Amino acid sequence: MKQLIQDRQLFMRRIFLMCYDMLAVFVASMFALIIRFDLNFYNVPTEYLNEVWRTLPYMMVITLIIFWALRLYSSLWSYAGALEMMYVVSACILDAIVVAALILVRNWGDMFPVPRSFYILYGLFLLVLIMGCRYSYRGLRAIRNMRRDGTYRRNVLVIGAGEAGNQLIKEINNSRYVKKKVVGVIDDDKTKIGNYIHGAKVIGDRSCIRDKVLELHVHEIIIAMPSASPKQMKGILDICKETGCELKRLPGIYQLVNGEVGISKLKDVDVNDLLGREPVMVNLESIMGYVSGKVIMVTGGGGSIGSELCRQIAGHKPKQLIILDIYENTTYDIQNELKVKFPDLDLVVLIGSVRNTNRMNWIFETYHPEIIYHAAAHKHVPLMEESPNEAIKNNVLGTWKIVQAADRYHVKRFVMISTDKAVNPTNIMGASKRICEMIIQTYNKRSETEYVAVRFGNVLGSNGSVIPLFKKQIERGGPVTVTDPNIVRYFMTIPEAVSLVLQAGAYAKGGEIFVLDMGEPVKILDLAKNLILLSGHKPDEDIQIVFTGLRPGEKLYEEMLMDEEGLQDTENNLIHIGKPIELDEEKFLDQLEKLKEYVVTEPSDIREWVKEIVPTYQPKEE
């Protein structure tokens, strides 16, 4: 029924436009004659009037046909732009030419059946009348939108007076659903200041953002600078975050190129944008040939790092991708995602624990993986401090068992995800990962399998990381808890870290500990303040920041390398190789055997046993 009503409304609208156009042909014809004769109808010669009257029905039919062919009856004139204007101009010019030809053919031999100026004046008047009608739709829409001011509309400041800003402002002005009002535009280009974009004035450069926010009562700032570099974006955001306004931005230049600029494409500014670091660029196409056509297994494939590994590997045509995880919910999510994105992918999803020897043996014997990415691990420092035996069982024994299975079933390459917390560890999680690195180093010398480890720091947005925690605390109104005002951490996005892991895997020859360059460390206190500002609040005024003291096993700063390891460069200047530290392998394997037997008794002194294996482990006193 609703569709029937809409179809009828469309039909009536087209009939109205056709009737108007026929009237416009008549009015344009009369005006073309009257203008020629000094605006006096009675001065128009009768023969000219008769010729126009005789030709008028043909002119109307011709006009309707040309206008229909050029889609003047099927355009949405409420949103008419430059393309529709081009159609109108073309239609009127073509109509004037055809009418001139018609009149001359009908009066063959008579050079002047109507004044010579008639044809030009007719075309011009027709253009004015048609444009006036069609574009009045936009005018009425704008008036209606202005009348909406009775309802609440958020004042918006747009930063960027380029093409993206132009398209956004146009959409905001035209949409009946967007409850926003553009009160000004900011651009650093001095030549644009003082000009208008769809009625919005370019009011200054970035230096006046704070003043204009107060003066114009701005609620929201939209950054329409899709081509800005991270450094430029950070400079703008450092100013905008102090205003207390809600911040949104366009995702990137590709949206502008593809014509996808619009309100629906805006995303919230997040803390990643405030790091101001150029994104890590890795040409995976050149180095991912080693996974193409091979059976790949990712342990911990449902986790933050593991799931991103699966996404990037799936896009490079592996023969088969096996996801192994003990936690079914996130594993189910990544399974569904990959099925949609890569329908031709041979995907196997298995639930199981790396601590289960029989399960691992069955998986290896059944699927024969050629490359393994081992991301399964307990990683939360405070939780592992409370349950140190579980850290050893899962991280150390789980890794050992899957390493042994890889050796037994002749896996070509084994890449283990490690952490900067393995360097001079002060917590049991870091110490357990250091033992895992030692297992990798030991088995590489005893097996045909190439065993390597990749060590990196914190990843932004990973499960259980500090940023989601801060966001939840801000949503509750605070306080935001920071352990120490001086604590710093290295950060990298999940896709960046995983890209480097994959590239390190391509470089692997066996026995290496790859160390990723994480850039400059970030103060957690600054991170907390920025998140509070981005949420539209002021730190220590609207939302308090509370210092809780370092947690058990936590350090003020993390290290990526032990002093004796040294560094060796690779082709990628963001990936380095730590020189393996010599160890007594027989003694180490004997310690592992004893640790395996001892930890299952749930001892209370497991840290002392771990300290014997990892001399650099210095547990913090309670």
* Cα(502)–Cα(491) distance, integer angstroms: 18
The amino acid at residue 444 is N
pLDDT band per the 50, 70, 90 thresholds, residue 339: very high
Report the candidate in 322, 312, 317 with the shortest Cα–Cα distance to residue 289: 317
What local confidence, expressed as pLDDT, does residue 268 receive? 65
- The distance from CA 415 to its chain's CA centroid, rounded to whole angstroms, is 28
Rounded Cα distance between 138 and 489, Å, is 53
Token digits of residue 313? 């590997």
488-502 average pLDDT score? 79
**Predicted confidence (pLDDT) at residue 76 exceeds the cutoff of 70:** no
Which residues contact residue 35 at a Cβ distance below 8 angstroms, ignoring those fewer than 6 apart?
Answer: 117, 121
Work out the angle at residue 451's Cα, subtended by the Cα atoms of residues 450 and 456, and round it to the nearest 5 degrees. 135
pLDDT tens digit sequence for 108-157: 767 778 888 888 888 888 888 888 777 776 666 555 555 555 555 788 89
**Residue 448: predicted pLDDT:** 93
Residue 258: per-residue pLDDT = 44
Instruction: Burial-class residue 359 by CB neighbours within 10 Å (0-12, 13-18, 19+).
Output: middle
From the list 508, 403, 402, 377, the residue with the least C-alpha distance to 454 is 508
13-31: string of b/e by CB count within 10 Å (b at 16+)?
eeeebbeebbebbeebbbb
* 453-472 CB burial, b ≥16 within 10 A, e <16: bbbbbbbbebeebbbeebbe
Q: What pLDDT is recorded for position 497?
A: 80
pLDDT at 264 exceeding the cut of 60: no
Give pLDDT, residue 224.
85
What are the structure tokens assigned to 200, written together? 């919005």
Nearest partner of 549 among 484, 487, 489, judged by Cα: 484
Structural domains for the chain = 2-146 (no CATH), 151-269 (3.40.50.720), 291-459+491-519+562-613 (3.40.50.720)
Report the alpha-carbon distance of residue 454 to residue 417 in Å, rounded. 5
Q: Would you call 579 helix, strand, or coil by DSSP?
A: coil
Q: What span, in angstroms and rounded, lies between the C-alpha atoms of 162 and 102? A: 46
pTM score over 0.75: no
Q: Are 117 and 58 in contact (CB under 8 A)?
A: no
pLDDT tens figures, 12-55: 778 888 888 888 888 888 888 888 787 777 777 888 888 888 88
How many whole angstroms separate alpha carbon 445 and alpha carbon 511? 7
Question: What is the mean pLDDT of the segment spanning 306-320?
Answer: 91
Catalytic: 445? no
Please return the burial class of 94, using the count of CB atoms within 10 Å of its CB with bins 0-12, 13-18 and 19+.
middle
Q: Using CA atoms, how far apart are residues 429 and 417, in angstroms rounded to an integer?
A: 13
Tokens of 532: 């509070």
Is 253 a residue whose pLDDT tops 50? no
Identify the pLDDT of residue 464: 63
**Which residues lie closer than 8 Å to 344 by C-beta, 6 or more apart?**
none
Rounded distance between C-alpha atoms, residue 501 and residue 622, angstroms: 35
Nearest of 451, 363, 438 to residue 412 by alpha carbon: 451
Spatial separation of the C-alpha atoms in residues 222 and 289, rounded to whole Å: 41
Amino acid 252: pLDDT: 54
Least confident segment among 12-26, 453-467, 499-513, 557-571: 557-571
Q: How confident is the model at residue 558 (pLDDT cuts 50, 70, 90)?
A: low
Question: Looking at 494-617, which runs of residues are DSSP E strands?
Answer: 513-516, 522-523, 545-547, 567-569, 575-578
Q: Indicate which residue of 180, 421, 433, 555 is catalytic.
A: 421
Q: Residue 456 in contact with residue 419, Cβ under 8 Å?
A: yes
pLDDT in tens, 511-552: 788 887 766 778 888 888 888 877 777 788 888 999 988 877
Span 586-607, average pLDDT: 92
In 3D space, the residue among 296, 302, 242, 301 whose CA is nearest the CA of residue 274 turns out to be 242
Residues 349, 352, 358, CA angle at the centre, nearest 5°? Answer: 120
Q: For residue 260, what pLDDT is reported? A: 46
Residue 79 has pLDDT above 60, yes or no: no
- The per-residue pLDDT for 289 is 76
Q: Are strands 488-489 and 567-569 parallel, antiparallel or unpaired?
A: unpaired
Q: Tell whether the model's pLDDT for residue 592 goes beyond 60.
A: yes
Q: Which helix (H) or strand (E) holds 460?
A: strand 458-460
Whether the pLDDT of residue 335 is over 90: the answer is yes
The answer to whether the CB of 405 falls within 8 A of the CB of 364 is yes
Going by C-alpha positions, the residue among 16, 28, 43 that lies closest to residue 99 is: 28
For range 560-582, the mean pLDDT: 65
Tell me which residue of 345, 303, 299 sits closest to 324, measured CA to CA.
299
Instruction: Report the run of H or E that residue 520 belongs to, with start and end.
Output: none
pLDDT digits (tens, 9 = 90+) for 187-232: 988 888 888 888 888 998 988 998 988 888 888 888 888 777 777 8
Which own/partner pairs from 206-214 qualify as long-range (CB within 8 Å, at least 24 positions apart)? 206/159, 206/235, 206/236, 206/239, 209/157, 209/159, 209/239, 209/240, 209/243, 210/239, 210/242, 210/243, 212/157, 212/184, 212/186, 213/157, 213/243, 213/245
Which pair of tokens denotes residue 482? Answer: 């920071």
- CB distance 611 to 617 below 8 Å: yes
Q: DSSP letters of 462-476?
A: -TT-HHHHHHHHHHT
Average pLDDT value over all residues in the chain: 82
Comparing 8-17, 376-385, 389-398, the range with the smallest average pLDDT is 8-17
Q: How far apart are CA 54 and CA 103, in angstroms?
A: 10
